[in-house]
Structure 1
Amino acid sequence: MTLYLKDFAQILDLPVDQAWADLPVNQVTYDSREVEASSLFICKGAHFNPSYLDSAIQKGAIAYVSEKDYGVSIPLLKVEDLREVLAPMAALYYGHPDRDLEIFALTGTKGKTTTVTYLHRILQTYGEETGEGPCGLLASTTTYDGREARVSHLTTPEPLELYRTLAACRDHGCRRVVMEVSSQALKYQRTKGLHFSHAGFLNISEDHISPIEHKDFADYFGSKLKIFDGADHAYVNLATDHLNEVMERAGACPRLTTLSMGERGDFQGRLIEDLDDGFVMEVTEGEEKNRVQVPTLGHYNGENALMALAMARRAGLPYEVIQKGLASAHVQGRTERFETSDGAVCLIVDYAHNKLSYEVLFREMERIYLDHYKVTVFGSPGGKAINRREDLGLLVGQAMDYAYVTLEDPYDEDPMKIAREIAHYLDQVGGSYEINLDREGAIKEAFRAGRDRYEREGRKTLILILGKGDEDSQSVGRGSQPMVPDTEVAKACVQADDGERLGS
C-alpha cells in the first residue's frame, strides 16, 4: 500500500497542506546514511546535528519530522515530543504487523532473557510439530524474525527497528512473537500502541537508577507496570516484591493468571530432583499435575520456567510439547558451567548484573557448592545504574572469598574510576579483591589461582564470571570494542588444563 505524507500528518494530528499532501513516502528513517528518494526523515537523538538533515535532503528526503524548525527547503511535520510519535509512525509505515501476531511480552528486573528463551523454544517446538510455522523472538541477546537470527544490541529496539522486525516476522510466516520489554522501552514509549496478547511480570527490585535512566525507584517501577496497559492477559509471579501494586495494575487486564513456586496461584511449582545441569519440577494446574525438566542450573529458574509454561498453557499448548520444548532450551551465557575433569575448578558464566540477580545466584551457588572457595569476576557499567557499584560491591564482599574487579561496558567513564568505586564498598565489608581491568586476564588469573589452591590445599574453587555472558564486545565511549566472550575464555581454561594434566 502506498503511503503519502498526508497519512503521517494525520496520525500526528497535524494540519495537511495540499501542496505536499500527496507526496508519496517510500521510506521512514532517522539514519541519514540510509536515506533514499522520497524518504521521510526524522531528526532524532541527543547528539543530532543539522548536517544530518542537509545530507538527507541531498539524498532525496521529501519532508522531515522534528521538534525544531531548521528552516530548510522541504516540508516540516513539527511535533512536541518525538518519543510520543515514533511508535505510531513506525506502526503505520510497517503496516501494523502486531495486528497479525500473538505477542508474548515479559518484563522484570531479572530473568527476562531466560524466560523468553524458554517460552520461545516451547512455541518454536509447537510450530515445528504442527506445521504452524516459526515463532519470532526479540531478546537482549538475540533477534529472530522467523528466518534469520542476529545479535541484539538493545533489550527492546527503538520503534522503527522494532516494527521492522515484527513486520519481518509476519512476512516470514510467524504467528507468534516472544519479546523482552525493558523499563526504558516502556518509559520512552518504544512500545506505545503495541498490542500485547500476553504480558508477564516476573519481579521487581531497585535497578537502572541514574540521570540517564530512571531518576528513582518509583519511576523505574511505574515504567515496568506499563506493560499491562492494553494487554489482553496478565501474568504475575506472586513472589515479586510490591505484589499489591503489581496485582492492582494487572487486574485491569481482561484476564489474569498467577503463579508461584509454592502453594499459591493458578500454576504452582515444586522442586522434585536436581540434575547435573538443571532440575525437575512438578507443576500443579488445578487438579492436574505434570513434571517438567528445567535445563538450567539454579532453582530460581523455576519461576522463569513456570512463567513460560503458564503463558504457553494459556495459549493452548499441550504439556507434551511444553515438556519437550523446555527440556531442549539452551540459554546461552546463563549459568553456563565449565569444569575441569577432576573437579578442581568450576567456572560459571552468567549475565547476572544487578542486586537481585546477584542475591539469588549467590544463594544458589552456596547451596550447590557449599565447600568450594568462591571467587567472582565482575564489574559495573559506566554512566548508568550507578547504584549497582554499591550494591554489588557490598554483596560480593560479604558473600565471596575473593573478587576480581574488572571491565564491564564503561561507556564514557574512566574504567579505573568505576573499579575504585566498587572497591570502596568491598573495603567497607572487609572483602578481599584485586583490580584487573583486563577481563580475559582476570578470568585466567582466577583460574590459575584456583588450580594452585587445589594442588596446595586440596580445596576446590568456584569462579563466578558475571555481567557479560557470551557477549563479544565491550561498550566503550560511543562505540564498542571486541572481546573474547567469557564463555570462550572459561572453556579454553578448562580445555587447556585438562589437556596439560592428561598429556594430550
Structure 2
Amino acid sequence: MSLRRYDLQQYIELLDEHQLIQYIQADQNALEREVEHLSYDSRDMKPGGLFICKGAHFLPRYLQEAVDRGAFCYISEKEYDLPGKDVAMILVTDIRKTMALLANRFFNEAWKQLNLIGITGTKGKSTTTYYVKYILDHYLSASGKSPCAILSGIDVDDGVISEESHLTTPEAVMLHRHFRNAVDSGREFLTMEVSSQALKYDRTAGVVFDVGCYLNVAEDHISPIEHCDFDDYFESKLRLFSQCRTACINIDADHAQEVCDSVDPAARIITFGTNDKADIYGHRIISREDGIDFEVKTPTFEKKFKLGMTGLFNVDNALAAIAICYALGIPEESMYHGLAAARVPGRMELFMGKQSGTLVIVDYAHNRMSFDRLFRSTIKEYPDRHVIAVFGCLSLIHI
C-alpha cells in the first residue's frame, strides 16, 4: 500500500497543535515539499527525508551525513551549524514526543488497522507475548490467515522484518514502521512487549491498544540511566492503562489495585490470577516433568489446559494470555492448542541426557527476582532431583 505523503508545513502544523515548536527556519519551497522519508539514523537517510536529531550521544557529524544523503530538513531541540548547506530546521521542546507524532503521521496511523496487544511487567513479558502469538496463530491458521506479528525482547517479525531484537520496545519511528509493515503484509494482529522505558519516553504516545496487560512489578531497572526510583518506574508502567480499550490485570500481583485505578474510565477491566475472585481464575495446578496441567474458570467457560513448558510461574503468564485472548473473543479451543504447543527461546527450555538422564533447564533468569522464582519453582517441580545452578554474569551489577 502506498503511503499518503504530507508536506513539511503539515508536519509543522501537527507539532504546533501540541505546542512543541520553538523555532522554524524554512523557506516556502521547503514548507511545500513532501516528506518522503523519516529517520533518526543518518545511515538510513534518503533524498527528501526529514531527519530527527535525538539521543544523549548524538554527534553533529550524524546530521551532516544525513544531509549528504538527502535530508532537506532536520528536527532537534538545539540548532546545529551547517555551513554551506541549505537545510530547513525545526526546533522543538521535546524530541521524544515529537518523534511519536511524526512517526504516527508518516506511517498513516497504521496501528489503527491492527488488533494491537501491549504487555508490560517486570517479569514474563516475553513469555506472555509468545503465548499470545501461539494462541492467535492457531486461530488464524484455521481460516488461512497470516500469523500474528510480534515485537518482543527476543525477536521481531512484522511480515517484512524478521530479526533478533535490539530493544524491548523499539523507538517510535521504528515502532510505527513495524505497524505499517504488519498491515501491508496482511497481518491482523500484533502482540508486543511495552517496556517502562518506552512508556516513560513516549515511544507509544498516541497509540491505543486494544488490550493492555499488567503482569507484575518489582524493584528493577532502578538506575541513573533508567528510572531514578521505584515510583518513577511504576508510574511509567501505569501509562499503558490510560491508552488501552481493555486492561487485563494480574489480581495476585503487587499494586494490582493501583493499576486498576489507573485504567481509563471508558476501558473494560478483566482480572486474572489464582485468586478465586479473578475473572480468569486458574486452579488445580499440577506440574509434570514436561509441562503443567491446570484448570481455568471464566465467566463463559471452564476448561482444563496443558502448558507445554515447565516453571510454575508460567501459569501466571498463561492466565494472562488466556485473559488477553478472552478479551479479543478468541475461541477457547485455540487457547488450549496454542498453550500446549507454546515454546519460548531461552525460557524454561528442557534438555534430557539420553544416557545419564540428567535434566538441563535453560532459562534467561538474570537477576534476584528471576532467580528466586526459578529456584523455588524448580525445587517444587523436581523434588527428587539434585539442583546445580550454572550462570553467567555480565558485570558486577548482576552479583
- Using structure 1 for the length normalisation, give the TM-score: 0.73
Superposition pairs for residues 311-460 of structure 1, below 5 Å? Answer: 311-343=324-356, 345-378=358-391, 406-408=392-394, 415=395, 418=396, 422=399
- CA-CA distance at 1:366 after TM superposition: 1.3
Once residues 315 and 356 of structure 2 are traced to their aligned partners in structure 1, the CA distance between those partners, rounded to angstroms, is 26
What residue identity is the alignment partner of 1:39?
G
SS in 1 for 2:101: helix
Q: Tell me the equivalent position of 2:61.
A: 51
1:26 aligned onto 2:36: yes
Note if 1:12 corresponds to 2:15: yes
> After the TM superposition, which segments of 4 or more aligned residues of structure 1 sit over 6 Å from their partners?
none
Aligned to 1:255: 268
Distance in 2, Cα, partners of 1:147 & 1:261: 39
Q: How does 1:100-499 map to 2 (within 5 A)?
A: 100-146=113-159, 149-250=162-263, 252-286=265-299, 288-343=301-356, 345-378=358-391, 406-408=392-394, 415=395, 418=396, 422=399
SS in structure 1 at match of 2:390: strand
Q: CA deviation at 1:342?
A: 4.5
Q: CA deviation at 1:134?
A: 2.3
Q: Bigger CA drift: 308-317 or 204-213?
A: 308-317
Assess if the C-alpha contact under 8 Å between 1:110 and 1:202 holds in 2.
Answer: yes
Q: Secondary structure at the match of 1:88?
A: helix
Residue in structure 2 matched with residue 40 of structure 1 by the alignment: 50
What secondary structure does 2:44 align onto? coil
CA contact (8 A) 2:280 2:319 kept: yes
Decide whether aligned partners of structure 1 residues 313 and 188 sit closer, same or farther in structure 2, where only a CA change above 3 A counts: same
CA distance in 2, matches of 1:377, 1:10: 57
User: By how many angstroms is 1:287 displaced?
Assistant: 6.0
Is residue 2 of structure 1 aligned with residue 5 of structure 2? yes
| 1-structure distance, mates of 2:393, 2:253 | 31
Q: What letter is aligned with 1:91?
A: N
Per-residue deviation at 1:275? Answer: 2.7
Instruction: Kindly state the Cα deviation for residue 44 of structure 1 after the two structures are TM-superposed.
Output: 1.5
Question: Could you tell me whether the CA contact under 8 Å between 2:53 and 2:74 is conserved in 1?
Answer: yes
- Matched ranges for 1:59-78 at <5 A: 59-72=69-82, 73-78=86-91
Deviations 1:428-467 (A, max 9, x none): xxxxxxxxxxxxxxxxxxxxxxxxxxxxxxxxxxxxxxxx
State the superposition RMSD in angstroms. Answer: 1.8
Aligned AA (1:349): V
What's 1:384 paired with? Answer: none
Assess, with a 3 A threshold, how the Cα gap between structure 1 residues 372 and 277 changes in structure 2: closer, same or farther.
Answer: closer
Distance in 1 (CA, whole Å) between partners of 2:12 and 2:139 is 42
| Alignment: residue pair count | 386
Deviation at 1:56, TM superposition (A): 1.8
Letter in 2 for 1:199: G
In structure 2, distance between residues paired with 1:339 and 1:316: 38
State the alpha-carbon separation in 1 of the partners of residues 45 and 365 from structure 2: 39
Contact 2:158 2:181 in 1 (8 A): yes
Matched AA of 1:12: L
Q: What SS class does the counterpart of residue 111 from structure 2 fall into? A: helix
Higher RCO (C-alpha 8 Å, min separation 6): 2
CA distance in 1, matches of 2:327, 2:357: 45
Q: Which AA in structure 1 matches 2:44?
A: E
Q: 1 CA distance for matches of 2:28 and 2:161?
A: 42
- Provide the C-alpha distance between the structure 1 equivalents of 2:336 and 2:243, rounded to a whole number of angstroms: 31
Distance 1:328 1:69 in 2: 54
- Structure 2 residue identity aligned to 1:218: D
Instruction: Kindly state the Cα deviation for residue 361 of structure 1 after the two structures are TM-superposed.
Output: 1.2
Give the match's secondary structure for 2:43.
Answer: coil
**Contact map agreement 2:243 2:264 (CA 8 A) in 1:** no
Residue 352 of structure 1 and its aligned partner are, at CA, apart by 1.6
Q: Is the 8 A contact 1:106 1:200 kept in 2?
A: yes
Q: Which amino acid aligns with 1:33?
A: R
1:147: Cα distance to partner? 5.2
Could you tell me whether the CA contact under 8 Å between 1:234 and 1:253 is conserved in 2?
no
Q: Specify the code of the residue in structure 1 equivalent to 2:342.
A: A
- Mapped partners of 2:54, 2:291: distance in 1: 45
What is the aligned counterpart of 2:102 among 82, 89, 103?
89
Distance 1:370 1:326 in 2: 25
Letter matched to residue 146 of structure 1? G
The gaps in structure 1 that reach 5 residues or longer are 379-405, 409-414, 423-504
CA deviation profile, 1:205-245 (whole Å, cap 9, x unmatched): 11001100001110111111111012100110011111221
Whole-Å Cα distance in 2 between the matches of residues 55 and 202 of structure 1? Answer: 43
Q: How far is the alpha carbon of 1:196 from its aligned partner? A: 0.5
Question: Any idea what the Cα deviations from partners look like across 1:172-228, whole Å, max 9, x if unmatched?
Answer: 011111000001101111111111010000011110011000011101111111110
SS of 1:232's equivalent? strand
Q: Secondary structure at 1:41's aligned position in 2? A: strand
User: Structure 1 residues 345 and 94 mapped into 2: Cα distance closer, same or farther (>3 Å)?
Assistant: same
